[in-house]
A and B are shown apart, each in its own frame.
Chain A
Amino acid sequence: MNQALLEKFVIYLQKANWLIFGPTLIPLDSLDEEEISPYLTAHQPQTKKDNGLILIKQIEKPTELVLDDRLPFYSFKHFFIPEGETLFKYKNNSLKESFEEQKVALLGVNLLDLKAINLYDQVFEKDPYYQARRRKILIVGSSSVPEISNNIFAQKYEEDILEHLPFDIFFANDQQPTINNQHFKVFSGSIKGQRILEHFGYKDYQHIQFSGPIKEGKPDEQMERLRDKLKNKHNQKIWDELGTRCIECGKCTLSCPTCFCFRVDDYPGLEKNSGARVRCWDSCFYQEFSEVSGPSTSSGQAPKFLKTTAERIHFWYFHKFARIPDEFNFIGCVGCRRCAKVCPVGIDIKEVLKEIEAS
C-alpha cells in the first residue's frame, strides 16, 4: 500500500464512522502549555527535538498522520484504560451500568504500545467495561521493518514479533522512508481487520494468526533473571538510594503504558442523591495508595503499608518485573523508556534494571 492509498484508507474509515486517532507532529509553537511541563522542557530539551512533539491526536486530514518510528510522547493507554471512567450512574439507591459506545480506530500503533495492549487484554480479561470498549476499537499497527530485503529477517519479523501482538491491521514500512512516498506491506491480524480491508477493496495483504503474547520456547531470560533478583535476592540498598531521589510525582506511572492501577470512587452529581461511581487511574507513588482505615498515627497520618518512598518505588518495580511475570509469564515493561523521559529527577529505568541484575 502506498501513501496515496493509505490516505484513501483513512478517509474510508472516517466515512465508516470511525473516530480516528494517531500519532501526529505538533509544532513547537502550537503546543498547549499543559502538554509538557516547563520544568521538563528546561531539564530535558531533547523531548522537543525536531521543533515539535509527536502526540496522539484525532486525525482529521490523512496527511496529519505521522507513521515513522518516533515514539509518541504519551502511549495509547488511555484509549484502553481511560483516566477516569464511569462504572455506574446512581440515583438514590439504584445503580445503572454505563458502557462506551463510540467506535475508535487507532492508527499507527507502534510495536511497544501494541505489547502493552497484550497486558491490558490479560489484566482486564473479565472486565465488562474494558471488553465493551475493546470491541469498539480498531487497532492498526505500524512500524518500519529494517532490512526487509533480507528474507530471513522478514520471516522472523512476522513469526517472532507480529504473531505475538494484538492488532487488526498492520502496516510494515518496508522501504527507507522518504517523504511522501512510503510503501507499506499490509497484514491482517483478526477477522475484523480482514473484513475492513476487503470491504475497502484492498486484497494485497497476508493474514497473521495471533498466537498469544508469549513467544514459543524458553521463557525470556531477562525476565527470569529480574524476577529471581526481586523475589529471592532483595537488595534494600538499591531502593533506599532511589528513595532519596524519587519525589513521588507519579509522572512515570502516568506515562507508562503498562501502569494500569486504579481506584474506585463515588462522585456526587448536581442533582440530589445522584452521581457516578468512577474508576480512575491511581499511582502507587501516592501517599494514599496503601492507606487503610483506622485511627491516625502519632504523626497525624492515616495508617498505611507503603510507608517510605523507597517502599513505594520498590512496589512499582516489583509489580512490573515480578508480579506481572508471575501472573502472565511476560515482563510488565515494554521498554519504551517514557518513564525516564518524564522523570524530573532523572531516574532511568534502564540503569535501575542494570543495577537489579548486577545486585
Chain B
Amino acid sequence: MNNPYLSEPAKIVKITPQTDTVKLFRFEFVQKVWGYNFSFAPGQFIELSIPGCGEAPFAPCNAAGAKYLELCIRDIGRLTHKLHEMKVGDKVGIRGPYGNGWPIINQKSKIKNQNGEKKNLLIVVGGLGLIPLRTLILGKDKFLGKDIKVQIFYGARSPQEMLFRYEYAKWRENGIDVKLTIDKECANWVGCVGLVTTLFDKFPIVENAQAFLCGPPVMYKFVLEKLKQKEVTDQDIYLSLERRMHCGLGVCQHCAVGPYYTCKDGPVFSYEQIKNIPGVI
C-alpha cells in the first residue's frame, strides 16, 4: 500500500540569502524512483522534513516547470533553524504537493468571474506572504494570459526585508505593477511608508479586480475592509490561510477550520466560502 508519509529525498543545490533571517533554498530531487517528476500548482504546499527535527509545511515558489524546487524559508523554529545551518549538498525529505492553490489553474480559462468575464488581478501580500505567489507572478503569461493586468501591493518591515527584491525590475518589465511600502520611515527609502493598507489610499487599484491575499492574519482584517470600500465582492477575494498541517492529508485535525481542512480544501479559500466561520482569520 502506498505510504503517504514517505518523503522523497532532495538535495540542496543553491542557497540565496534574502534577508538576515530568510534564505531561498533550491532543491533537486535525488531520483530514487526513475522518472520521478515533481510538479505543483501555485499556492499549493509541501511537507519538508529533516530526520530528528520533524516536518513542517512550506509553499514552493519557483517558476513552474523548472527541474528544481525552491522554498523561501525564515529561520524561526527548530526545523527551520536546522535547515538554515545546512549547506549545499545536504539532504532533506519532501512530500506533496498538497491542497488547492490559487483558483486560476483549475479553471483553465484564466481568471474569470462567475459571469465568465475576465478579471484583472490584485495581489495583496505582507511579509513572507509574497512567497506562495511568486510562482504565479513568474508565470503570469502562462497562468493568466498576456491581457490580464496584475498589480501587487506588498508591505514589508523595511527595504532589507523585501523578498525577491532583485526581481522586481523584471516583473515590472513584464507589465506587472509593483507597489511597495515599508512599515517605518528609513534612510534611502523614497517610496511609500505605512502598512500595506496605506497603498490603497495612495494608488487606485486595478479596475475590474479579483484579489489574492497572503500575509499575517492581522493583515487580512484591514485589507478586507479596504477591498470592501473598493467594492470588490467576497467571491472575488481569495486568501491563503495559515495553519500548522501535521499530516497534509486531511486526517490529523490540526488545520481544520469549520467544515474544511486547510490542507485538503485550502490553503486557498474564497472569502465567500469562509467568512462565516468564527475564528477563521
Contacts and interface: CB of A to CB of B under 8 A. Distances in A.
Contact of B254 (A231, A290, A307, A326): A290
B216 A262 contact: no
A234 interface: yes
B144 to A, nearest CB: 30
B156 to A, nearest CB: 15
B54 A277 contact: yes
Interface stretch (B36-44, B105-113, B193-201, B239-247): B239-247
Interface in B39-80: 49, 51-56, 76-77, 80
B51 A266 contact: yes
A87 interface: yes
A227 to B, nearest CB: 9
Given A92-B51, A266-B52, 4 more contacts: A88-B5, A265-B54, A282-B254, A305-B279
B53 A266 contact: yes
B31 interface: no
B261 to A, nearest CB: 9
A319 B244 contact: no
B252 A264 contact: yes
Which of B53, B247, B254, B279 has the largest count of A CB atoms less than 10 A from its CB? B254
Given A95-B7, A263-B252, A234 B278 contact: yes
A293 B77 contact: yes
A222 to B, nearest CB: 18
B52 A124 contact: no
A313 to B, nearest CB: 13
Contacts of B254: 261, 263, 282, 289-290
B52 A290 contact: no
B256 interface: yes
Interface of A: 87-88, 90, 92-93, 95, 97, 123-124, 126-128, 131-132, 231, 234, 236, 260-266, 268, 273, 275, 277, 282, 284, 289-295, 305-307, 311, 314-315, 318-319, 322-323, 326
Given A261-B253, A306-B279, A291 B259 contact: no
Contacts of B257: 305
B3 A291 contact: no
Which of A236, A264, A322 has the largest count of B CB atoms less than 10 A from its CB? A264
Contacts of A293: 56, 76-77, 80, 244
B5 A275 contact: no
A291 B78 CA distance: 14
A262 B54 contact: no
User: DSSP class of B's interface residues: helix, strand, loop or mixed?
Assistant: loop
A275 B256 contact: no
Interface string B1-39: 111111101000000000000000000000000000000
Contacts of B49: 266, 277
A294 B55 CA distance: 16
Given A123-B251, A128-B2, A262 B246 contact: yes
Interface string B208-225: 000000001000000000
Which of B6, B7, B251 has the largest count of A CB atoms less than 10 A from its CB? B251
B189 to A, nearest CB: 23
A298 to B, nearest CB: 12
Nearest to B276: A234
Contacts of B216: 294
Which of A128, A305, A307 has the largest count of B CB atoms less than 10 A from its CB? A305
A109 B241 CA distance: 41
Nearest to B91: A93
Nearest to A87: B5
A286 B4 CA distance: 26
Given A88-B5, A264-B54, A323-B259, A292 B244 contact: yes
A97 B76 CA distance: 29
Contact of A284 (B6, B51, B91, B253): B253
Contacts of A126: 1-2, 4, 249
